Amino acid sequence: MLLIFPAIDLKDGKCIRLVQGEPGTEKIYSDDPTKMAILWRGENAKTLHVVDLDGAFDGAMKNLPCIEKMVQAIDIPVQVGGGIRTFEQVKELFSIGVARVVIGTAAIENPDLVYRCVKEFGPTKIAVGIDARDGIVMTKGWKESSGIGAVQLALAMKKLGVKRIVYTDIARDGMMEGPNIESTKDIAVQSGLRVTASGGISGYQDLIQLQEIEKYGVDSVIVGKALYENKFPCQALWRMNEKELDDLGPTRRI
């Protein structure tokens, strides 16, 4: 069974979604990301995927207080990426209770960081984000081409002890036109790593398609815009009920 990560992307302290990662395409879904984290927990999310977009674009984490507040407010693991470039940043994220750190640009620019983090914290605590456009890995908030193939990077990370990658097809991200099943399966098969798929989920049928390639190592998926746009069964009813509640359930701790 696929593990589903609801995505919370942070920009200027707000919860937003972008189209193909392009600045200027953002749509604000909440001024309070912590309440959004609580909402997903109330809808039975087992874990969350949080991205510091300001950090991804600027090269340094900008939303750490917001992330800490979310971690403290819910009782499920939180995975965080975006702008993580140093060992000290990784250590700080773990110190505030983050369950797993996703290293992206730094995996290319400073692979020794990945090796050190895996050795220090263990392979279950570190994932590498591979964000690709036409099979080539993009870095620095998807603004620059690394010139390195997605599979090539996955294999290099495997040699450093990495066990999991988060694979995003940038062209699909935020489009709700379906995930790139072929490339997701390909990177899982060629690398032998566990893969969290990301980008393009439009609804229930896409999850069924991804589940068909779970046997190749694609065991989880990040879902963003489709959740925010209520594209799954029961969501509309949940939203109607939640608007009437001040306390959204026993897991809420704020």
Residue 7 lies in a domain: yes
| Cα atoms found within 13 Å of the Cα of residue 43, Cβ hemisphere only | 23
**pLDDT score of 239:** 66
Question: Which residue range forms the structural domain that includes residue 215?
Answer: 3-242
Say how far apart CA 11 and CA 53 lie, in whole Å: 6
Q: Rounded to an integer, what distance in angstroms lies between the CA atom of residue 178 and that of residue 58?
A: 29
| Block residue for tokens 């509640």 | 245
Which of 9, 54, 173, 206 does the annotation list as catalytic?
9
Asked whether residue 173 is assigned to any structural domain, the reply reads yes
Would residue 131 show up in a list of annotated catalytic residues for this protein? yes
Tokens of 44: 């039975």
- Categorize the per-residue pLDDT at 231 as very low, low, confident or very high, splitting at 50, 70 and 90: confident
Task: Report if residue 251 sits inside a domain.
Answer: no
Residue 246 has pLDDT above 70, yes or no: no
Task: Decide: helix, strand or coil at residue 89.
Answer: helix
CATH label of the domain that carries residue 57: 3.20.20.70
Give a yes or no: residue 253 inside a domain: no
Question: In terms of pLDDT, which residue wins out, 154 or 203?
Answer: 154
The verdict on residue 149 lying in a domain is yes
pLDDT at 250: 45
What confidence tens digit (pLDDT) does each residue in 75-93 have? 999 999 999 999 999 999 9
Based on DSSP, count helices (H) and strands (E) in the chain, helices before strands.
11, 12
Instruction: Write down the pLDDT at residue 251.
Output: 47
Tell me the pLDDT of the chain averaged across its residues: 89
- Residue 252 domain flag: no
pLDDT tens digits, 3-62: 999 999 999 999 988 776 576 778 899 999 999 999 999 888 999 999 999 988 887 888
3-state helix, strand, coil in the chain (%, to 5): 40, 25, 35
How far apart are alpha carbons 252 and 235 in whole angstroms?
19
Catalytic residue chosen out of the listed positions 31, 54, 112, 131:
131
250 in any annotated domain: no
Confidence band of 177 (pLDDT split at 50, 70, 90): confident
- Read off the tokens for 219: 């065991």
**How much of the chain, in percent, has pLDDT values that exceed 70?**
89
Within-domain flag for 104: yes
pTM, full prediction: 0.89
pLDDT at 67: 96
Cα 249 to chain center, whole Å? 25
Domains of the chain: total:
1
9 is catalytic: yes
**Percent of the chain clearing pLDDT 90 (strictly above):** 67
The model's pLDDT over 77-134, given as tens digits with 9 standing for 90+, comes to 999 999 999 999 999 999 999 999 999 999 999 999 999 999 999 999 999 999 999 8
Predicted local confidence at residue 175, as pLDDT? 66
Angle ∠(72,74,79) on CA atoms, nearest 5: 85
